[in-house]
Every structure is written in structure tokens, then in C-alpha cells.
Chains A and B, each alone.
Chain A
Amino acid sequence: MAPGGGDVNLFAEAIAYLLDPASWTGAGSIGLRILEHLAFSGAVLLVAAAIGVPAGVLIGHTGRGRGLVIALTSGARAIPTLGLLTIFGLLLGIGIEAPFLALVVLALPPVLAGAYAGVESVDRLVIGGARAIGMTERQILTGVELPLASPVLIGGLRSAALQVISTATLAAYISDTGLGRLIFAGLKTRDYGVMLAGSLLVALLALVVELLFQAAQSAASRRAEPISTPRTTGRARASERNP
């Protein structure tokens, strides 16, 4: 049976599958797939951050290699993720290594760009001021540049995280892991309800991660620019006094 046909019932089927206690128990339970998906995506993001953040900070700090970062990030957008996954899958064989490597490659450009742009955006005068009051280069980096760069840096991690969660779903095509398994299992058995259930879970997971990163980003901006709020209220108060 071809899926579709304006079937709202499919959504009911998907919800029923998600609410069925049997889907949440055993070796292939939904909970396990969610954990798998999160652990895999988290590990990829950690590796990408461990490489990309120091490299990006260094480039932003020294100003060397910025052309490379810009070319890398605009070029990376054109590379189809499925193509990268399948070629890595053929070359490295079945297993977790191929999707892991492909995902790290895809996550690196946004992480690198965020770290680089964040550090580069820090006002040179502020750094000069920090140096003038006797901070060491190390203190300037950790106490001035990194906190001020953090909103943009977290923004880079945020787009990398979304990219990774999205591509980790596709990764089930070459190696059976994560929530993508539900989608591809449903596709094979023509069970649209299961496919839809998997899709709704991935979408929900992505939205939760997006909102968490948004919250982290605005917390970082508040820390990086604590004076921006008092300044506006101060101005408002001044205008109240001076009508």
C-alpha cells in the first residue's frame, strides 16, 4: 500500500505506536533508540568541538587562516550529507566508524566558524585594555576573549548540533543506529505509522536541542554584555526625568 492519501489516520497510528508500552520495552525500545541517537550525536559534537573550538579560537586570535575558514564554511554547505555518508560507508565498511567520521567532518565547519567569528568580533580596544591593566595573554584569552566570544561560539555549536542530529538520522541508512532506524525499518516494511513516529521523535528531539542551545546562547550574551540592560533602563530613566 502506498503511503499517503491525505491520511490523518497515519498520525493516529504513529501516536498509538508511540503510546504503546510495548514500543518502550525490549532490545529495540524507543527509549534505547533515543539514548543511542543522543549519545552518538553528543560524541560527534564533542569530537568536533575538541578540534574546532581551539582551532577557531587560534585563527580568530591570530587572524591567520581566516580565508580558509570562510571558504570551508561556504563550501561545506554545498556538500550533500547523504553523499558523504554513503561514500564513507563504502570505503570504511559497515559499522559505526563511517557515519561517525562523516558527521565529524560535517560538524567541523560551523564549530570552527563560530569560534573564529566569536573571537574575531571581540573589540580590539577591550583586549588592549586588558593588556594595559597587566593581564597575561592566557588571562586575556580565558578571561576576556572567550567569555565575550561565547554567544557566537555557542551559535556555531548550535548549528553543528542541529546538523548532527539531522544527519545522524540519515546515518541509519548505512549503519543501523539511532532514531533513523525506526524510519528505515518502517520504510522497508511499508509501515508508515512507524516511519512517522520516528520522524516526529527526531523533530521533537531537534526542537528541544535547538531551544536548549538558544537558552545557553542568551545566557552567554547576558554574561558577555551585562551592561546592555541597565544601560537602556538608565537611558529610559534619564528621559523620564527630562521630559
Chain B
Amino acid sequence: MNWLSQNLHIVGALLVDHLVLSIVPIALAILVSVPLGWLAARYRRARTPLLTGTGLLYAIPSLPLFIIVAPLIGVPVRSPVTIVVALTLYGVALLVRGAADAFGSVPRETMLAADAMGHAAWARFWRVELPLAGPVLLSSLRVVVVSTVSLVTVGAVVGASSLGTLFTDGFQRGIEASILTGLVLTVVVAFALDAIVVLAGRLAMPWRRAVAT
């Protein structure tokens, strides 16, 4: 493709921006959601507000969320920080439910046995609850990974650079190759990150081979 070979360095730079804007919110979402999901699974009182709240949050469309988040945290809307914060919120909205289901699926008897063997609460979480919750957690993480990579592109309309910039530039200048390159690369990035997550899951949970989604 002629257009692509002439614009390789631009596309490369946008790809890097895209990866940063995808990976940071995914990582932050995991850090926030795992404890929240655990709370929702263990404390009945925390469950309803957490799951209802995150469910409603997920209903808010992405572009409006970017615009609402920016003045709340005091940065320009096209700043990478806006995109990262908004996408972290989406990731949390999806993952908290998944994490609550995951920790809820750990049998009570297993946790009591862990207690009886003398595990402190902290050790029980790391050695018993988290590994057992792992497979379910992983499958909702995969959804978060794929949808985050796709949502990053929306930031391009407010000027946050990512592979989505190929859509806005291509549309404004009438270059189909630019849009098609962006489409293909975004899907490739989504599937590549998904594959990495699956692989990491297999390495971290060798006892559980293929994880059904």
C-alpha cells in the first residue's frame, strides 16, 4: 500500500500512543476493580450500590464521558489523562461485576478450610481466593482489553492522538487508506493484547489450561 509506506513513521507514532492509552487504563482498572469486586462478593451491603453504580456508569457514552471527566479532574479534554481516566472508569464498570462473580464463585468451604489451616486473611486472599477467582476474572478482563482498545479511538475527535487520528484525518482529507489502516491496526492491537492476556493467564494459572469465555 502506497499511502501506508509513505506514512509509516506517523502510523508508528500513533500506534505507540494508542498502546499507551490502552494499557494504562486496563492496568489501572485491574488495580481498582479487584478489591472492589472482592468487597462486592464478600459484603452483601456493598454489593448492590457497587454493581448498580458501575452498571449505570457503563451506560454513559464515551465521547460525553470524556467531556464530562475533563473539567472534573481539571485537565484539557484532549489530554491523555482525560482519556486514561475515562477509560479506566469504563474498565472498572465492566471488571467490578466480573470480579464480584469471580470471588463469589470461590466455595465457602474452601475458604473455611484455608482459615482452619491457619491462613491469615491477607494470605488467604493471595493464595486461595485470587487463584480460584482467576479464570472468571480473566474472561472479563479479556472483554475489557478488547473494548478499551476500540474506545481509545473515540478520543481522536477531541484531539487525543491514537490510531483514531487515522480516522479523523482520513475522513477530513478523503483518504480511505488512512481509515482502513486505522481499522485494521486497531483490531490487530485488540487481538494481540487479548492474546497476551490469555497467554499470561496460562502462565499464571498452569493448572487451568484453556479458559472458556
Is this pair of chains taken from one and the same complex? yes
Most buried by B among A2, A78, A87, A165: A78
A90:B61 contact, CB within 8 angstroms: no
Q: Report yes or no: B75 in contact with A4, Cβ–Cβ below 8 A.
A: yes
Q: B76 to A3, Cβ gap below 8 A?
A: yes
Among A3, A4, A167, chain B packs the most CB atoms within 10 A around the CB of: A4
The SS class assigned to the A binding surface is helix
* Contacting residue for A169 out of B61, B75, B79, CB 8 A: B61
The answer to whether A90 and B179 touch across the interface, beta carbons within 8 angstroms, is yes
Residues on A with C-beta less than 8 A from B180 are 87
* Chain A residue with Cβ nearest B172: A86
B117 CB to closest chain A CB (Å) equals 33
Return the contact of B183 from the options A83, A91, A183, A196 (Cβ within 8 A): A83
A79 in complex: contacting residue of B79, B150, B164, CB < 8 Å: B150
A127 CB-CB contact with B under 8 Å: no
Q: Identify which of B61, B150, B154, B213 contacts A78 (C-beta below 8 A).
A: B150
* Distance in angstroms between the alpha carbons of A8 and B163 in the assembled complex: 31
Nearest chain B CB to A158 CB, angstrom units: 9
Flag if B67 contacts A195 (CB, 8 Å). yes
Interchain CB contact under 8 A, B147 and A77: yes
Measured CB to CB, the closest approach of chain A to B106, in angstroms, equals 25
Using A79-B187, A202-B61 as known contacts, say yes or no to A6 and B71 having CB atoms under 8 A apart: yes
Residues in chain A near residue B143, CB distance under 8 A: 77
B183 to chain A, nearest CB (A): 4
Q: Which residues of B contact A196 (CB under 8 A)?
A: 67-68, 71
Number of chain B residues close to chain A: CB under 8 A: 47
- Given that A8-B71, A10-B71 are known contacts, is A166 also in contact with B170, CB under 8 Å in the complex? no
* A85 and B79 alpha carbons, distance in the complex (Å): 23
| 29 contacting pairs across A/B (C-beta < 8 A) | A3-B77, A4-B70, A4-B74, A4-B77, A74-B146, A78-B190, A79-B150, A79-B187, A80-B153, A80-B187, A81-B150, A82-B154, A83-B153, A84-B183, A87-B176, A87-B179, A162-B61, A166-B61, A166-B62, A169-B61, A169-B64, A183-B63, A187-B157, A187-B158, A196-B68, A199-B68, A202-B63, A203-B68, A207-B60
Interface residue count for A (Cβ, 8 Å)?
48
Q: Which single member of B62, B171, B187, B213 contacts A86 (CB below 8 Å)?
A: B171
CB-based contact B64/A87 at 8 Å: no
B183 touches A210 (CB 8 A): no
Q: Per a CB cutoff under 8 Å, which of A2, A74, A80, A170 touches B63?
A: A170
Q: What residues on B are CB-neighbors of A83 within 8 Å? A: 153, 164, 167, 179, 182-183, 186
- Complex CA gap A86/B166 in Å reads 10
